[in-house]
Amino acid sequence: MQPKEFYEQENLSPITYKYSNVVEVFSCISPIQKIQVLAHPFFIKILVLDGVVQLTEKDEFFYHEMLTHVPLMAHPQPERILILGGGDGGTLREVLKYDTVKTVTIVEIDPEVVSTAKRFFPNIAKGFNDPRTCVVHMDGCEYIEGLKNEFDVIIIDGPDPVGPAQNLLAPQTLSFAKTALRQNGIFAAQTESLHFHREHIIKTQKSLIELFKFVDLYTQAISTYPGSWWSFSIASMMINPRAVRRCLEIPTRYYSSEVHNSSFFPPKSLKKLLNGELDW
């Protein structure tokens, strides 16, 4: 197949990312979305949903490690984990590294994403056959409605908050998530780019502040997500997520307790961001 150019269809971004020398190795239209797998000389394989890059083999570990290990290392004993979204398996892979973890429920609306990941990204999707993993194919918001006191950590690993995915961070869903958490549970979610989606971050943070005692924001630059200054929102009723509570006894490429500490947005800056004094 002739290499071609791929233009990301990321409508929330003022910059369009163009990838050259791309070969489409797989494409399908599921009932939910268009799924593509691209091969690229630098990023190796790329997973694309509805025209938007979800991950690349080259750098997915930055995203998945930061989304997973910050909440799990802040928790004293994470045993029961819920992932909403995350059908590529990257977050699941990181969660399963913990011996403390007894069950992981992953709620991915689109079974075709899971089967595509298993087929083309075996190093990322390797946790689906783990005996601790339970895969549910339904809408994440519907799944958690009515659950009480079930999980130590809930992670929302969703796509951009447009269309159906915007419900994943709606106040109602966050309220369900709070109820579904155990008393000392921790909630974490990817919440887009500080450069391009500041208002979305502020809105989500304010919704979380209505519900939780501890609410915080940490970041990591990701080259393949437009705006790149990627934010993660984290919240808990009992646990300050800035503190690392255990020794890191699992293999990671990037995450460490040092990275944990330095990834949090400075407290005074966060306060200024939320009250509108820090904008651009």
Burial of residue 180, with CB atoms counted within 10 A of its CB: 0-12 exposed, 13-18 middle, 19 or more buried:
buried
Q: Please give the structure tokens belonging to residue 223.
A: 């080259």
Separation CA 142–CA 158 (nearest Å)? 15
Q: Which among 88, 157, 160, 216 is annotated as catalytic?
A: 157
Question: Does 15 sit near its own copies (CB under 8 A)?
Answer: yes
43, 63, 98, 128: which one binds its own copies (CB under 8 A): 43
Q: 238-277 mask for its own copies (x: CB under 8 A)?
A: ---------------xx-x-xx-xx-xxxxxx--------
Give, as one character, the DSSP assignment of residue 167.
Answer: G
Q: Among residues 207 and 219, whose Cβ is nearest to its own copies?
A: 219
Residues 54-73 that bind its own copies (CB under 8 A): 58-59, 61-62
Closest CA to 3 of 25, 23, 27: 23
Separation CA 11–CA 17 (nearest Å)? 11
Residues 215-234 that bind its own copies (CB under 8 A): 219, 221, 223-224, 226-229
4, 18, 102, 213: which one binds its own copies (CB under 8 A): 18
CB of 105 to its own copies, least distance (A): 30
CB of 57 to its own copies, least distance (A): 10
- Buried b / exposed e along 98-130 (16+ C-beta atoms within 10 A): beebeebbbbbbbebbbbbbbebbeebbbbbee
How many residues are given for the chain? 280
CA 149 from centre of chain: 22
Residues 135-194 that bind its own copies (CB under 8 A): 193-194
Q: Among residues 61 and 212, whose Cβ is nearest to its own copies?
A: 61
CB of 124 to its own copies, least distance (A): 14
Identify whether 139 is a catalytic site residue: no
- Buried b / exposed e along 198-214 (16+ C-beta atoms within 10 A): bebbbbbbebbeebbeb
Q: Among residues 128 and 225, whose Cβ is nearest to its own copies?
A: 225
Which stretches of the chain bind its own copies, using CB under 8 A? 7, 14-20, 40-43, 58-59, 61-62, 193-196, 219, 221, 223-224, 226-229, 253-254, 256, 258-259, 261-262, 264-269, 278, 280
Catalytic residues: 157
